[in-house]
Amino acid sequence: MFDFHVSGSPLIYGALALLAVGLLMLISFIARRVGRIIRPLKRAPAKRLGVVASSLRLLLILLLISTSLAVLFIGAFIQSYTAFTQRQLAATVRCTVVPGKEDIMILVFATPAPSPANKIQRYLLRGQQWTVEGHILKWDDRLNLLGLRTMYKLTRVRGRYLRSEDEMNKPVTVYSLVSNEDPPHWRWLFEYGPRLPFVQAVYGNTVFTFPSETKTFAIYVTNSGFMVAEEEG
């Protein structure tokens, strides 16, 4: 999934516009003062700009430039903070243990409403934990600062046993979340993606945790991959 987000940009663009206006005004002010020094003016002294008025104008110009620089700094800080702390909801999960059944769970998996693959599905899982797997494409940090979010694709849901011995000897359950489990573009990205400009890494990512009767689990995509957050209710 591809997403581009520029939450801090309007503030930065506004600060840059103010800074540009302030610099133009400062250049114009300096040019006038220099012009008056190198060639005498023929206007009457009464029409000349007084020292106090000239100083006040310079002060206002410097104040405009200083304010725009401060706003630009704040906007850049907000943009960088948002870029490296943002998270995007990829799916929600409710998973409960089947009463009276050992190591059997019912998982309800849902993707967000705006998603083109929006759907709610139920899965019967064997194990003590539920697991969601997927692909991650992590951009270079410079693109994160510009607002480009991590690309991802959820691919599988499965049950997980705590002991590796149980994984080998007990029944396992694995379900695909996609129609094509070997898309050529993702295979190409795994092979060559890290060599591309502005791509930091391409890798598989897995999150898993225990089922709960009272919690809803939200799967988020961050700059480093998937994370699970618990929600009561």
Cα 51 to Cα 55: distance, rounded to the nearest angstrom = 6
Within this chain, do residues 48 and 96 fall inside the same structural domain, yes or no?
no
152 and 39, same structural domain?
A: no
Given a contact cutoff of 8 angstroms between Cβ atoms, the answer to whether 174 and 133 are in contact is: no
**Residues forming a β-bridge with 222:** 225
Instruction: Indicate if 78 and 124 belong to the same structural domain.
Output: no
> Per residue in 194-207, is it b (16+ CB within 10 Å) or e — as a string?
eeeeebbebeebeb
Q: Which of 24, 49, 84 is the last residue of a domain?
A: 84
Between CA 184 and CA 177 the distance in angstroms is: 17
Which of 25, 51, 84 is where one domain is finished? 84
Residues 160, 186, single domain; the answer is yes
What is the chain's pLDDT, residue by residue, as a tens digit (233 residues)? 443 343 446 666 676 777 788 788 878 877 776 766 666 545 545 445 466 677 787 788 788 878 877 776 776 666 665 655 678 899 999 999 999 888 999 999 998 866 555 578 999 999 999 999 999 998 887 776 666 778 899 999 999 999 999 999 999 999 999 989 888 999 999 999 888 888 889 999 999 999 999 899 999 998 888 999 987 65
pLDDT at 37: 66
Domain match, 55 and 102 both: no
Q: Do 194 and 99 fall within a single domain?
A: yes
pLDDT recorded at residue 82: 60
| Predicted pLDDT of residue 224 | 82
Nearest to 154 by CA among 219, 85, 223: 219
Do 107 and 47 fall within a single domain? no
pTM for this model (two decimals): 0.65
And the tokens for 7?
């939450």
Structural domain boundaries enclosing 208: 87-232
Number of domains the chain is built from: 2
Q: Are residues 32 and 122 in the same domain?
A: no
Nearest to 102 by CA among 164, 171, 169: 171
Domain final residue, candidates 84, 111, 137: 84
CA dihedral angle for residue 206, residue 207, residue 210, residue 212, rounded to 10 degrees: -130
> How far is the C-alpha of 126 from the C-alpha of 170, rounded, in Å?
9
